[in-house]
């Protein structure tokens, strides 16, 4: 979709916007009135800082110490926040200013956000708008506007099953890294859905609490493969090897075992070389690479079978580099979440102000449905929609909508309201 001259704002005008925010705030307070008992206080909550973000505000009410579940719920009802947070850190005096809190340690937390993962769906449901001329198009914003040359944009992101499936796969990779390479027990890893575009992974062991910022940075760099020196890997790898050597070998097997000519073309091979690779490498991987992947053995195998091959060490390097990209947890681009030992993180069983969905613990990633399990609102609401892409909520699909009134399940209506894509129609 390409439009121009209409301005960027997709939310309603200010008076209607205030009405929208008041409607959401009232609905949130009703939810907490009914469901406040389900809010989960984190371990050692008396040593943590709590914070509350008001609707329409950029700054939090923070440095709050909470002594009981009742006190927490009373704060939520009094402040009527859009979002509720708590510190990953433990403090001697959590209600004091930062310099007097007395840091005692911090959970190790990772944030996997679909925003940081390249997925084809973003070209369909994300869009940008030039602040200079109002040109609006779908996908990621360009370096400069093709219409007026300006480089300032408003970006409107969405999320879908494809986005969140990609985030789920990244969390699974991360758990494998931490358990296999760092020896962290899986039963100590706690996964939470953020209520929006991703997942949080918390580790609360005594060892994790003691890690300083530089040590946490090293962990992030390791799982992202930053600083990995390919020259030190050599050209012989075993799937059973520990660390990155084994990961690369296993990923090469997966990458090559059933690769087609097109797969090798996608790697950058020329047509002839891609054809040769597709005819040789899958068979070699399936027959000989279960125990060891060795470029010299590959050369020996091709000579032994009297097969001419033009795949050289530079091609082998390309395959290794692609295997590394596939194996790395590259979605952790927002490294501050992990390295900041004073970080605030969303409180489970509170509502996400950008969606109206619950942030919640995930006990089984395989069966968890981020568009059904976190639903907080029941009933129906009629919404005057300005513009919204197609989306799923529960077992049904809705949209796309453009300038129309629609009656929706309350959870779907609340999503559009929280995203600023429509306003309530008073009954």
Which range (63-67, 165-169, 276-280, 384-388) has the least confidence?
Answer: 276-280
pLDDT at residue 105 greater than cutoff 60: yes
What confidence score (pLDDT) does residue 40 get? 86
> 73 vs 56, 238, 353, CA distance in Å?
21, 54, 17
What confidence score (pLDDT) does residue 2 get? 47
Total residue length of the chain: 427
Task: Read off the pLDDT of each residue in 335-359 and give the average, rounded to a whole number.
Answer: 96
List, for residues 291-314, the tens digit of each pLDDT value.
Answer: 877 666 566 555 555 555 567 778
- Which of 176, 154, 170, 192 lies closest to 114, judged by CA? 170
Whether 133 contacts 226, CB under 8 Å: no
Q: How far apart are CA 131 and CA 128, in angstroms?
A: 9
pTM of the entire predicted model:
0.89
Rg of the chain's alpha carbons, rounded to an integer?
25
pLDDT at residue 261 greater than cutoff 50: yes
What confidence score (pLDDT) does residue 284 get? 77
Task: Read off the pLDDT of each residue in 195-207 and give the average, rounded to a whole number.
Answer: 95
101 token code pair = 């809190």
Q: What is the per-residue DSSP string for 112-134?
A: EEGGGS--TTHHHH-EEEETTT-
Task: State percent of the chain over pLDDT 70.
Answer: 92
What confidence score (pLDDT) does residue 1 get? 44
Task: Read off the pLDDT of each residue in 314-331 and give the average, rounded to a whole number.
Answer: 89
What confidence score (pLDDT) does residue 157 get? 87
Instruction: Give the mean pLDDT of the chain.
Output: 89
What confidence score (pLDDT) does residue 11 get? 45
What confidence score (pLDDT) does residue 345 get? 97
What confidence score (pLDDT) does residue 6 get? 45
């Amino acid at each position: 979709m390409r439009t121009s001259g209409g301005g960027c704002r997709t939310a309603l005008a200010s008076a209607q916007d205030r009405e929208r925010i008041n409607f959401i705030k009232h609905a949130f307070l009703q939810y907490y009135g009914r469901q406040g008992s389900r809010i989960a206080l984190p371990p050692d909550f008396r040593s943590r800082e709590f914070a509350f973000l008001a609707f329409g505000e950029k700054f939090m009410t923070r440095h709050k110490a909470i002594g009981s579940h009742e006190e927490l719920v009373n704060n939520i009802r009094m402040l009527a926040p859009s979002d509720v947070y708590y510190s990953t850190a433990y403090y001697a005096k959590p209600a004091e200013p930062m310099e007097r809190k007395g840091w005692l340690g911090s959970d190790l937390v990772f944030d996997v956000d679909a925003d940081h993962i390249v997925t084809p769906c973003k070209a369909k449901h994300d869009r940008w708008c030039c602040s200079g001329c109002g040109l609006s198009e779908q996908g990621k914003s360009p370096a400069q506007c093709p219409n007026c040359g300006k480089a300032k944009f408003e970006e409107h992101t969405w999320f879908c099953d494809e986005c969140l499936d990609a985030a789920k796969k990244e969390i699974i990779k991360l758990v494998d890294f931490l358990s296999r390479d760092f020896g962290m027990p899986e039963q100590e890893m706690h996964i939470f859905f953020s209520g929006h575009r991703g997942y949080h992974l918390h580790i609360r062991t005594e060892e994790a609490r003691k890690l300083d910022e530089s040590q946490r940075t090293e962990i992030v760099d390791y799982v992202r493969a930053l600083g990995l020196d390919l020259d030190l890997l050599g050209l012989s790898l075993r799937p059973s090897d520990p660390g990155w050597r084994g990961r690369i070998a296993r990923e090469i097997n997966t990458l090559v075992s059933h690769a087609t000519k097109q797969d090798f073309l996608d790697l950058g091979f020329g047509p002839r070389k891609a054809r040769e690779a597709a005819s040789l490498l899958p068979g070699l991987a399936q027959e000989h690479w279960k125990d060891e992947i060795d470029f010299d053995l590959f050369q020996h195998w091709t000579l032994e079978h009297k097969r001419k091959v033009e795949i050289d060490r530079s091609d082998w390097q390309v395959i290794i580099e692609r295997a590394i990209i596939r194996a790395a947890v590259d979605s952790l681009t927002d490294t501050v979440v992990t390295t900041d030992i004073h970080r605030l993180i969303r409180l489970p069983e509170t509502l996400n102000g950008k969606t109206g969905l619950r942030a919640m613990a995930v006990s089984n990633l395989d069966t968890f449905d981020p568009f059904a399990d976190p639903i907080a609102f029941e009933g129906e609401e009629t919404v005057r929609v300005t513009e919204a892409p197609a989306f799923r909520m529960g077992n049904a699909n809705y949209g796309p909508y453009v300038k129309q009134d629609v009656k929706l399940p309350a959870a779907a209506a609340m999503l559009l309201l929280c995203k600023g894509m429509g306003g309530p129609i008073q009954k």
